[in-house]
A = this chain, B = another copy of it.
């Protein structure tokens, strides 16, 4: 899946730590679930991830249960309600994203970390599970809740990448951090359309966007001024959709 990315040294998504999956952790830290229970939990998450991503959040719970090969009751034993299921999906994804961000900060050159992070976050996937990538690929799941989670857990790490990139001269002076956040968010729209027909093509548009952020692209003054941080926060934490 990872298309070769110009300017990005070889990325090896395989060794990106993907959450703690495999370790039989339940959801919190209660105690390990029984083997079959854990397997069902995983199945449900996978089924829900795919169906949500494919058909939107309004897929019926029974359809999810059917696809996961479990009964309704099982689903509801694992997740108290539909919302909890959605949250679990998003949480999974966000966790994966965070470990990618940490790796980006630790191992990538400053000028390149942000773009590498975005690419890896989207392209990473657990072998045999479509759900993670699927969630990232579906605009339908980028609801208010998703942004809340991203804001809390990912944005601070992105800020550090941004600061490093600017210090390295890779960001034009009139561009603010919130501009990057906003444009990366916009990227979702790109991926959502292009990926089904030409997987990986969105890397090209990501590059175009970053080209616009580079000092050499500077043209007339940007009008109006950027959002401040609080503005972005309030923009992305509006009440979740019904």
Binding site for B on A (CB under 8 A): 3-7, 55-56, 58, 147, 175, 179, 182-183, 185-190, 193-194, 196-198, 200-201, 203-205, 207-214, 216-227, 231-232, 234-236, 238, 241-242
**Interface contact A194-B6, CB-CB below 8 Å:** no
A92 to B56 alpha-carbon distance, docked (Å):
26
Minimal beta-carbon separation of A196 from chain B (angstroms) = 7
Shortest distance from the beta carbon of A211 to any chain B beta carbon, whole Å: 4
Copies of this polypeptide in the complex? 4
- Taking CB atoms, residues of chain B closer than 8 Å to A208 are 175, 179, 183, 209, 212-213, 222
The answer on a CB contact under 8 Å between A217 and B214 is yes
Say yes or no: A204 contacts B226, CB within 8 Å: yes
Residues of B within 8 A of A224 (CB): 3, 198, 200-201, 203-204
Interchain CA distance A4-B238 in the complex, whole Å? 27
Within the complex, which residue of B186, B211, B213, B223 is in contact with A218, where a contact is CB–CB below 8 Å? Answer: B211
